[in-house]
Amino acid sequence: MNDSVSAGAHARGMRGDHVAGAVLMAFSALVAWENRSYPLGSLASPGPGSVPLMLALILGGLGLLIIVRGAASPLLNSIEWSEARRGFVLLLACGVATFVLERIGYRLSMIALLVFMLGVVERKKPLPTALVSIGFAYGSYFMFATLLKVQLPLGPWGL
Amino acid sequence: MKNGLACVLLALTAAAASAQDVYPSRPISMIVPFPPGGVADITGRPTAAALEKVLKQPVTINNRPGAGGKVGNAAVANAKPDGYTIMMALSSVSVLPEADKLFDLKPAYTLDQLAPVALISADPVILVVHPSVPAKTLPELVALARQKQGQLSFSTSGVYGALHLPMEMFLHALNLKMRAVHSTGGGPAITMVLGGHVDMTVGGPAAITAQVNAGKLRPVVGWGARRHEAFPNVPTFKELGYDIEYYIWAGMFAPKATPEPVMRVLRDATRKAVEDPDFRTSMARVNSPVQYLDAPEFAKYWAADAKRLAEVVRVIGRVEEQK
Amino acid sequence: MDGVFGNLMLGFSVAMQPSVLAYAFAGCVIGTLVGMLPGLGPLAGISLLLPATFGLDPIVAIVLLAGVYYGAMYGGSTTSILMRIPGEAASVMTCIDGYAMTQRGRAGPALAIAAIGSFVAGTFSVVALMLLAPTLATFALRFGPPEYTALLTMGLLVLSYMSGGSMLKTLAMAAVGLLLGMVGIDAMSGYTRFSYGMTELADGVGIVPVAVGLFGLSEILMTAGQASPPPVQQPTLRQLIPSAEEMRLSIGPITRGSVVGFLIGIIPGAAHIISSFVSYGMERRISNHPERFGNGAIEGVAGPESANNAAATGAFVPMLALGVPTGPITAVMLAAIMVHGIAPGPMLITEQPQLFWGFVASMYVGNVVLLVLNLPLVGIFVNLLRIPYSYLYPAILCFCVLGVYSVGNSVVDVWIMLAMGGVGYVLRKFHFDLAPVALGLVLSPLLELSVRQSLAMSGGSYGIFLDRPIAITMFGAAFVLILLALKPLIFKGKDWRHDVGLDEPAAE
């Protein structure tokens, strides 16, 4: 962390902290705006809107300070996003699995997710992919749903 | 490959469809909209066990806690009405849509999405005070409240919660003012009185018996139509001349459109289940006597209760805007 | 003293029966398994097992549940240390230094110290529980909303010692966490805040999905995407055992963690979650080398792990001595004995001596069982790291989905976890520390509620915070701590941050 600080300290341009601070300020503004429908109450009897508003103001202030003092932070361009693509794909795959979890059942969605991650993302051979996927789905189901009575979704085909 | 899969899926769907001839032909899921260990859960489990014996199919408990029961209630209200999803709900089932209305929220479910199957138990609640509160009877307590001009305080299980509504009924009927300290459950509400941080709260018999016997809480008055067996010396509002009644009840529900034949099977099974000796013992152990009512009577009881509670919620209004 | 000894013998005569012992053992094993599943902590563990205990003898039931409870507490730390996935809120702090130790090839010692710390803390707390339960319980009852406010305010101060990075960013992350805690039904007014029509959000954003997402998922996203996978570790036997130096460093944190955790634990309510945060902050504050924290300091594992176990046992004090369910876990435990027709109350200890002393004795037994069970298991768990990462991480992701889903049978929780994973990944890229988010999320609903409850009690007068001896003492202590924290700002950068080059860049 310190290396990047000193390396980028003298170059000109947009800093990481400028962006981060701005996003935090925008977030705090959004919260304050959404908060307007909740009554603020009085000092003696604070309403449901009072604490969120206070926090939003604090966060906005902190965001501003982060921007002001952000000149020495790493350049925005210096932040590496090399793993972002694969990370996004993984997150998306999990999202799809979550979407179908209660629709097709736990075991089917886990098999699908594992087949995708092992077979497509990691390019494993079909046999280990199939073995691990099916083994994991059934093994974990047996362990947690059958033995420990964790309630897992079954889907229309009982899987 | 794709064709094969389609064939398997088709076969499975067909199998599932043909299996539905006689109800019940597969396990039934009883949704309990509260976490394990709560009143609904402790009532639901023995009921499910007794139903299993009658229906000869497993009845599994499915806890779907959240938002004071709203999540589970809504799940059943919107479930497929095939009799394979039923629910053990508490009296709060009628209050939640009303509170939603109060805050202009789109209700998560409405009462006409649910069909009552049977009432299982109904417990009147009891007002308990910290022993340091000088008032021993209701008239003394009322006098004290008037003299203190709204400085007495009570704790609740949460605003519009099961232990808030009876208190508001009482305050409204006698035109009293007190400070409401809301908490996040029955346990914290009682703890607050035990520590002397507030003067009083409302509790179900099971929750307060041991504390009362140990002299840590003093019962003053009850909300039942008759005196509670465990507290023969505690008068009720009714006998003191106030028309206030309130029970925390547990009842079984199914989604509204559940076909009549299925409903009949469920009702018959429940009638037999509540006679089951094991069921009776389990319920007696948790100090919650069985108050069985079949669907028609329960529907009437429910309608009256829901109307009463909706009225209370409207009277309370938005607490934020009272002052 | 004789009475205690005689009673304890009675307790052991109950707890050492082979059948009871077997249930204690089974409970620990099941608990460890459940706890290892990310998201499933002690509460989920005992909730799952509760129905199975209805048919058992009440003593056996409570022994089994206590075993599950202990096991799950420990199981949670295993995944925190090995995979940076907090099993539950209490192990968030363990993640940070525990996982850093794993990356340096010291997973074995971290797991062993966690087990030893849990054992010491558990045993210490049982002794305190046994000797002082009624006295402590009476004291604990004096904690009303104003005292709670003071306690939680002190909890907030931990923030200043929590992270090695920029103070501004730490505070900003805490504010984000506190704001997240605002989602859901406001207990005082009934308003449902920031839920956007989703009923599932009415109870607020759970700490489990947030913690699993921010810590576990973000780590996977960062590592899995790298061109070369992290090297597979081949731990040798020597690497499994803590070195003499590591043992020496752990003694202090374990002792302090046990005492602090127990004291926080006995207070009714949900504050015991903060015990591990407080312990971590404290260890870092008094350490001579605070810069080691965050990079695999054994103290950062020993302290919080001991504290959360001590707090867990402490929570039984008001439950057993007063019969009041002070939190969700004790509520389930009380339900387990209620279904057997035993009414929990202040007379429980005198009316049911067998139950109370049997329970106390079985906690001793449970602690020993857990240690005996887990020290050998360290060797097995560490070998999980031999699995190539390309197979390991898909399985971990699936476990995260499974665990977070089953906490409340809710897909919404899984969505929250995924969203937090993405947010955590981006925030880490911008050098934000994430632990303050977790602390903020845990604190804000409690803090807001207790402030407003206090004002409701006093009819709107802030004097209530100054009238009460416990509250005013704690506020006083908090004030002194703030002054100490401000000192370096006033006297120009003589903070340890400065000494170790961690000072905010712009301040130079």
Q: What is the pLDDT of residues A16-52, one digit of tens each?
A: 888 899 999 999 999 999 998 888 888 888 888 899 9
In angstroms, the separation between the Cα of residue A25 and the nearest Cα of chain B is 29
End position of a domain, from candidates B230, B245, B260: B245
**More confident position, B27 or C250:** C250
User: Out of C47, C327, C453, whose CB is closest to B181?
Assistant: C453
Q: How far apart are CA C272 and CA C307, in angstroms?
A: 9
Verify whether the Cβ–Cβ distance A20 to C432 is below 8 Å. Answer: yes
Its sign, for the CA torsion A65, A70, A73, A76, is positive
The answer to whether residues B249 and B204 touch, using CB atoms and an 8 Å cutoff, is no
A123: left (phi over 0), alpha (psi -120 to 50) or beta: left
Q: How far apart are CA A153 and CA A130, in angstroms?
A: 22
Tell me which chain C residues have a C-beta less than 8 angstroms from the C-beta of B213. Answer: 345, 347
Cβ contacts below 8 Å, chain A against chain B, sum to 16
Give the residue from chain B lying closest to C196, CA to CA. Answer: B105
Q: How far apart are CA B102 and CA C191, in angstroms?
A: 10
Same domain, B177 and B265: no
Q: Is B190 on the interface with C (CB under 8 A)?
A: yes
**More confident position, B13 or B296:** B296
Q: What per-residue confidence (pLDDT) applies to C6?
A: 82
How many C-beta neighbours within 10 Å does residue B129 have? Answer: 23
- pLDDT higher than 80, residue C493: no
Q: What per-residue confidence (pLDDT) applies to B320?
A: 64
The answer to whether residues B120 and B43 touch, using CB atoms and an 8 Å cutoff, is yes
Q: What per-residue confidence (pLDDT) applies to A1?
A: 39
Verify whether the Cβ–Cβ distance C410 to B71 is below 8 Å. Answer: yes
- pLDDT higher than 70, residue A8: no
SS3 (DSSP) at B1:
coil
Contact partners, residue C253, CB within 8 Å, separation at least 6: C117, C279, C283, C299, C302, C303, C306
- The structure tokens 């202990």 sit at C70
Counting runs of H as helices and runs of E as strands, what totals does chain C give?
Answer: 24, 2
Verify whether the Cβ–Cβ distance B63 to A151 is below 8 Å. Answer: yes
* Phi and psi torsions of B181, nearest 5°: -115, 105
Tell me which chain A residues have a C-beta less than 8 angstroms from the C-beta of B9. Answer: 157
CA atoms within 13 A on the CB side of B166: 28
Q: What per-residue confidence (pLDDT) applies to A10?
A: 53
In angstroms, the separation between the Cα of residue B173 and the nearest Cα of chain C is 22
- pLDDT higher than 50, residue C283: yes
Same domain, B153 and B257: no
One-letter amino acid at C116 equals: I
Domain with residue B233: its CATH number is: 3.40.190.10
Residues pairing with B251 in the sheet: B89, B119
Q: How far apart are CA A33 and CA A43, in angstroms?
A: 21
What is the mean pLDDT of the segment spanning C8-22?
84
DSSP B288: -
Q: What per-residue confidence (pLDDT) applies to C480?
A: 86
DSSP A41: B
Long-range contacts of C460-468 (CB under 8 A, 24+ apart): C460/A42, C460/A43, C460/A44, C460/A45, C461/A44, C464/C146, C465/C146, C465/C149, C465/C150, C468/C144, C468/C146, C468/C147
Contact partners, residue B319, CB within 8 Å, separation at least 6: B159, B180, C188, C189, C190
- pLDDT higher than 90, residue C414: yes
Q: How far apart are CA C123 and CA B237, in angstroms?
A: 50
Give the residue from chain B lying closest to C464, CA to CA. Answer: B197
- pLDDT higher than 80, residue C497: no
Give the residue from chain A lying closest to C506, CA to CA. Answer: A69
pLDDT in tens, C85-112: 887 778 888 999 999 999 888 889 999 9
User: Out of A41, A151, A156, whose CB is closest to B320?
Assistant: A41
Verify whether the Cβ–Cβ distance B62 to A48 is below 8 Å. Answer: no
**More confident position, C173 or A83:** C173
What is the mean pLDDT of the segment spanning A83-109?
92
Same domain, B77 and B31: yes
Q: What per-residue confidence (pLDDT) applies to B21?
A: 62
Among B77-81, B110-114, C406-410, C465-469, the range scoring the smallest mean pLDDT is C406-410
What is the mean pLDDT of the segment spanning A98-112?
92
- pLDDT higher than 60, residue C363: yes
- Which among C169, C183, C220, C462 is the top mutation candidate for probing chain A, defined by the most A β-carbons within 10 Å of its own β-carbon? C169
DSSP codes of every residue in C180-200: HTT-EE-TTT--EES-TT-GG
Average pLDDT score over chain B: 85
End position of a domain, from candidates B198, B227, B245: B245
Q: Is C326 on the interface with B (CB under 8 A)?
A: yes
The two three-digit tokens of residue B229, written as one number: 């067996």
Instruction: Provide, rounded to the nearest whole percent, the portion of chain C with pLDDT above 90.
Output: 26
Cis amide leading into B24 (omega within 30): yes
Q: What per-residue confidence (pLDDT) applies to B135?
A: 92
Residues pairing with B181 in the sheet: B155
Q: What per-residue confidence (pLDDT) applies to C304?
A: 93
The answer to whether residues C360 and C130 touch, using CB atoms and an 8 Å cutoff, is yes
pLDDT confidence bin for A6, thresholds 50/70/90: very low
Q: What per-residue confidence (pLDDT) applies to B27?
A: 82
Q: What per-residue confidence (pLDDT) applies to C488?
A: 61
Same domain, B109 and B194: no
* Phi and psi torsions of B179, nearest 5°: -90, 125
Helical residues (DSSP H) of C158-296, grouped into ranges: 167-180, 207-211, 218-224, 237-240, 244-265, 275-286
One-letter amino acid at B270 equals: T
Q: Is A122 on the interface with C (CB under 8 A)?
A: yes
Rg of chain A over all Cα atoms, to the nearest angstrom: 24
How many C-beta neighbours within 10 Å does residue B309 have? Answer: 23
* Phi and psi torsions of B292, nearest 5°: -75, 135
pLDDT confidence bin for B143, thresholds 50/70/90: very high
The answer to whether residues B167 and B246 touch, using CB atoms and an 8 Å cutoff, is no
List b or e across B187-213, with b for residues whose CB sees 16 or more CB atoms inside 10 angstroms. bbbbbbbbbebbbbbbbbbbbbbbbbe
The two three-digit tokens of residue B198, written as one number: 């507030």
Tell me which chain C residues have a C-beta less than 8 angstroms from the C-beta of B318. Answer: 189-190
What is the mean pLDDT of the segment spanning A112-116?
94
Angle at C96 between CA A71 and CA C417, to 5 degrees: 85
In angstroms, the separation between the Cα of residue A47 and the nearest Cα of chain B is 7
Cβ contacts below 8 Å, chain B against chain C, sum to 163
Tell me which chain C residues have a C-beta less than 8 angstroms from the C-beta of B153. Answer: 456-457
Q: What per-residue confidence (pLDDT) applies to B321?
A: 55
pLDDT confidence bin for C315, thresholds 50/70/90: confident
The two three-digit tokens of residue B65, written as one number: 């806690």
CA atoms within 13 A on the CB side of C409: 25
**More confident position, C489 or C356:** C356
pLDDT confidence bin for A3, thresholds 50/70/90: very low
What's the domain range around B134?
A: 126-245
List b or e across C27-47, with b for residues whose CB sees 16 or more CB atoms inside 10 angstroms. bbbbbbbbbbbbbbbbbbbbb
Domain count for chain B = 2
**More confident position, B61 or C146:** C146
Q: Report yes or no on B273 lying in a domain.
A: yes
**More confident position, C487 or B62:** B62
With an 8 Å Cβ cutoff, the interface of chain B facing chain A consists of 9, 12-13, 16, 62-63, 320-321, 323
Q: How far apart are CA C193 and CA C201, in angstroms?
A: 9
SS3 (DSSP) at B124:
strand
End position of a domain, from candidates B199, B228, B245: B245
Average pLDDT score over chain C: 84
Residues 22-81 in B contacting C (C-alpha not used; CB under 8 Å) = 35-38, 41-42, 45, 61-68, 70-71, 74
User: Out of C189, C225, C411, whose CB is closest to A83?
Assistant: C225
Q: Report yes or no on B189 lying in a domain.
A: yes
User: Out of A39, A45, A157, whose CB is closest to B12?
Assistant: A157
Q: Of B157, B287, B143, whose CA–CA distance to B211 is shortest?
A: B287
pLDDT confidence bin for A90, thresholds 50/70/90: very high
Residues pairing with B90 in the sheet: B250
- pLDDT higher than 90, residue A110: yes
Verify whether the Cβ–Cβ distance B320 to A47 is below 8 Å. Answer: yes
Q: What per-residue confidence (pLDDT) applies to C506?
A: 38
Instruction: With residue C61 as reference, give the H or E element that holds it.
Output: helix C58-83
Residues 268-297 in B contacting C (C-alpha not used; CB under 8 Å) = 282, 284-287
- pLDDT higher than 60, residue C501: no
Q: How far apart are CA C282 and CA B248, in angstroms?
A: 46
Q: Torsion angle of alpha carbons C332, C334, C337, C343, nearest 10°?
A: -150
- pLDDT higher than 60, residue B228: yes
pLDDT confidence bin for A74, thresholds 50/70/90: confident
Q: What per-residue confidence (pLDDT) applies to C508?
A: 31
Q: Where are the domains of chain A?
A: 2-78, 84-147
Verify whether the Cβ–Cβ distance C189 to B102 is below 8 Å. Answer: no
Q: What per-residue confidence (pLDDT) applies to A127?
A: 92
User: Out of C203, C326, C338, whose CB is closest to B286?
Assistant: C338
Q: How far apart are CA C201 and CA C182, in angstroms?
A: 11
- pLDDT higher than 60, residue B125: yes
Q: How far apart are CA C41 and CA C4, in angstroms?
A: 33
What is the mean pLDDT of the segment spanning B211-219?
91
One-letter amino acid at C303 equals: G
Tell me which chain B residues have a C-beta less than 8 angstroms from the C-beta of C191. Answer: 103, 320
- Which among C33, C68, C391 is the top mutation candidate for probing chain A, defined by the most A β-carbons within 10 Å of its own β-carbon? C391
Same domain, B219 and B311: no
- pLDDT higher than 50, residue C138: yes
- pLDDT higher than 80, residue C227: no
DSSP B20: T
**More confident position, B220 or C238:** B220
Q: Would you give the distance in Å from CA C167 to the centre of its chain? A: 24
Angle at C339 between CA C336 and CA C343, to 5 degrees: 90
Domain with residue B255: its CATH number is: 3.40.190.150
Q: How far apart are CA B139 and CA B64, in angstroms?
A: 42
Same domain, B118 and B253: yes
pLDDT in tens, C333-359: 888 877 777 777 788 888 888 888 888
User: Out of C145, C190, C325, whose CB is closest to B197?
Assistant: C145
SS3 (DSSP) at A92:
helix
- pLDDT higher than 70, residue C264: yes
- pLDDT higher than 70, residue C472: yes
Q: How far apart are CA A141 and CA B107, in angstroms?
A: 35
In angstroms, the separation between the Cα of residue A132 and the nearest Cα of chain C is 9
The answer to whether residues C474 and C149 touch, using CB atoms and an 8 Å cutoff, is no
CA distances from C142 to B195, C147, C220, C508 (A): 6, 8, 45, 47
The two three-digit tokens of residue B35, written as one number: 């976490």
DSSP codes of every residue in B225-249: SS--TT-TT--BTTTTT-----EEE
Instruction: Provide, rounded to the nearest whole percent, the portion of chain B with pLDDT above 90.
Output: 31
